Amino acid sequence: MEKAILVGVKLNNEKIPLEESLAELEQLARTSGAEAVTVITQNRERPDRKYFIGQGKAEELASLCAVNKPDLVIIDHEVSSTQIRNLEDFIGVKVIDRTELILDIFAQHAHTREGTLQVELAQSEFQLTRLSGHGVSLSRLGGGIGTRGPGETKLEMDRRRIRKKISQLKTELEAVAKSRHLLREKRRSSRIRVGAIVGYTNAGKSTLLNAMAKAQVLVEDKLFATLDPVTKRTYLPGGQVILLTDTVGFIQKLPHQLIDAFKATLEEVNEADFLLHVVDSSSPYMEDQIEAVYKVLEELGAIAKPIVTVFNKMDLKELPKKYLKQYSPAVFISAATREGLDDLSIVLSKLPAPPA
Ligand SMILES: Nc1nc2c(ncn2[C@@H]2O[C@H](COP(=O)(O)OP(=O)(O)OP(=O)(O)O)[C@@H](O)[C@H]2O)c(=O)[nH]1
Ligand SMILES: [Mg+2]
């Protein structure tokens, strides 16, 4: 385990409470293999130009680093490359931001060809934004006598190299996506309805698929355990067959490079006839997580699909009945104990048939 100091920053215009975002950052850090030794926080009007956190916080962080000797510092925000570099120079410890942390987890969890390609694409796009951040200082370094010539600056070369890689990755991904598209066409022509299981990461989506379809999908108390969509067949009362697809989990402040790179995978959501929105009822942040999922669904253009809300983990926490009405059609279940699965099957069998 690497040792990390976590830095929580809440800017004035932000809604998510510091503690909530930090609790999640800690889980993200653990998932990627880092243990939080200390946490510091700051409320700011807007980011500090030089360090993102203020000068005073940077000094506090420097002395904490001297005492705790962490392997890295993780800032719970998207931070510019210049600010990261300034901070690293100042405290003498490696600094990463939330986006980089999430990309690292995705890289560790990608197994299939498609998953790996998508992560590589996201990382390349991230590098590109980082490069433009370095822009000013690098081009100054690269400028001057002897470096000008007819050639290009190092920055431009790097940019071009990354852009080329991005376009190669996209071409490869398109090929993979095409075969997936064929599969979907086949499914559609069989007129079997397809439901996409969506939800916040760690809500229990894979556990539900396993319970509904006797599947063997990896279940872990880790964030983003699932990166690749898995589709399984399941039977409803009355013998009706449907297909259920497990998908990548959503999260607050999901880096846009990821949504972009994972378009192919997330297309499963767009192509589905209905959505099963799995909610972790035991989370103290349940309602914010529901909102975060809606936001991503909106970005994907899938919010208008029929949504069945599945309040999971009722073995851990029972919710008031009002939620069933508020989120109707909705059910309370425990994917772990299989409680409520029959109710869910009944709700699913009553969904209107897809247009022919
Ligand atoms: N107590 C309890 N735990 C559950 C239940 N369903 C899932 N879990 C646990 O919650 C954790 C996450 O479950 P997963 O099925 O991997 O969740 P997921 O939504 O697929 O997560 P990602 O793929 O990481 O986004 C695991 O530790 C599961 O054992 C439930 O009904 N009750
Ligand atoms: Mg999963």
Q: How far apart are CA 88 and CA 84, in angstroms?
A: 6
Break the chain into its structural domains and give their ranges. Answer: 2-105, 112-170, 191-349
Cβ < 6 Å from ligand 1: which residues? Answer: 199, 201-207, 219-226, 249, 312-313, 315-316, 334-336
Q: Whose CA is nearest to atom 16 of ligand 1?
A: 219
Q: Whose CA is nearest to atom 27 of ligand 1?
A: 221
Q: What is the pLDDT of residues 306-336, one digit of tens each?
A: 999 999 999 999 999 999 999 999 999 999 9
Q: Which ligand is nearest the CA of 203, by number?
A: 1
* φ, ψ of residue 158 in degrees (nearest 5): -60, -45
How many Cβ atoms sit within 10 Å of the Cβ of residue 16? Answer: 17
Tell me the DSSP string of 286-341.
HHHHHHHHHHHHHHHT-TTS-EEEEEE-TTT-PPPTHHHHHTSSEEE--TTT-TTH
Half-sphere exposure of 138 (CA within 13 A, CB side): 17
Pocket test for ligand 1, best of 220, 254, 343 (most atoms within 8 A of CB): 220
Which atom, in ligand 1's list, is nearest to the CA of 334? 31
Q: What is the pLDDT of residues 27-78, one digit of tens each?
A: 999 999 999 999 999 999 999 999 999 999 999 999 999 999 999 999 999 9
Which atom, in ligand 1's list, is nearest to the CA of 222? 24
Taking a C-beta distance cutoff of 8 angstroms, is the pair 313, 280 a contact? yes
Q: What is the pLDDT of residues 242-275, one digit of tens each?
A: 999 998 888 887 777 788 778 777 888 988 999 9
Q: Which residue has the higher pLDDT, 135 or 342?
A: 342
Q: How far apart are CA 320 and CA 141, in angstroms?
A: 62
Q: Whose CA is nearest to atom 14 of ligand 1?
A: 204
Do 2-105 and 191-349 fold alike per CATH?
yes
Give the closest residue to 59 by CA, choosing from 27, 91, 105. 91
Pocket test for ligand 1, best of 105, 207, 227, 281 (most atoms within 8 A of CB): 207
Residue 260 confidence (pLDDT):
76
Burial (CB count <10 Å: 0-12, 13-18, 19+), residue 302: buried
Q: What is the pLDDT of residues 101-148, one digit of tens each?
A: 999 988 888 888 888 898 899 999 888 888 754 333 433 344 445 444
Q: Whose CA is nearest to atom 21 of ligand 1?
A: 202
Residue 134 confidence (pLDDT):
39
Name the one residue in this structure whose structure tokens are 């920055």.
Answer: 155
Question: Which residues have a Cβ under 8 Å from the Cβ of 2 and sit 6 or more positions away?
Answer: 33, 34, 35, 70, 71, 72
Pocket test for ligand 1, best of 105, 108, 201, 202 (most atoms within 8 A of CB): 202
Q: Which ligand is nearest the CA of 223, by number?
A: 1
Stated as kind and residue range, the H or E segment containing 331 is strand 330-332
Q: Which CATH architecture has domain 2-105?
A: 3-Layer(aba) Sandwich (3.40)
Residue 340 Rama label (left phi>0; alpha psi -120 to 50; beta): left
Angle subtended at Cα 306 by Cα 303 and Cα 307, rounded to the nearest 5 degrees: 75
Name the one residue in this structure whose structure tokens are 């099957």.
Answer: 345
| Percent residues over pLDDT 90 in the chain | 58
Strand-pairing partners, residue 95, are 73
Fold of 191-349: Rossmann fold (3.40.50)
Handedness of CA 350, 340, 246, 77 (dihedral sign): positive
Which atom, in ligand 1's list, is nearest to the CA of 278? 19
